[in-house]
Amino acid sequence: MTLAERIRALGHPATGSYSAFSRLATVADTDGVPKANDMVKLLVEGQEAVVRTARKVITVADATNDQATADLATQRLQIHEKTAWMLRSLLEE
């Protein structure tokens, strides 16, 4: 909801349909039911994809002097980096 509110504050409509989310997604959908370890790997990949997107958003926000968006993206970056790290720790043996 915070992301949608920021998009609206910038004067744009926030995406709301599943088909639109699917077109804009950077995390691929997975068919079937992977094994547990494969699920964790997919989660790590998804978190890392979001981290890459957040870094791009921060770069653009900084270039356009949009501190509010840069701050929001930085917060998301921190959450997803931490989550990826925690998930990767499950794969170490």
pLDDT at residue 11, as a whole number: 95
Report the number of distinct structural domains present in the chain.
1
Whichever domain contains 18, its CATH number is 1.20.1260.10
Q: Residue 13 — very low, low, confident or very high, per pLDDT cuts 50/70/90?
A: very high
For residue 29, count CB atoms less than 10 angstroms from its CB and return exposed for 0-12, middle for 13-18, buried for 19 or more: exposed
Q: CA separation (Å) from 55 to 17, 32, 44, 51, 93?
A: 25, 31, 17, 6, 30
Residue 54 neighbours by CB under 8 Å, 6+ apart: 73, 74, 76, 77, 80
**Which residue segment(s) compose the domain that 29 sits in?**
2-91
**Residue pLDDT, tens place only, 24-79:** 888 888 999 999 999 999 999 999 999 999 999 999 999 999 999 999 999 999 99
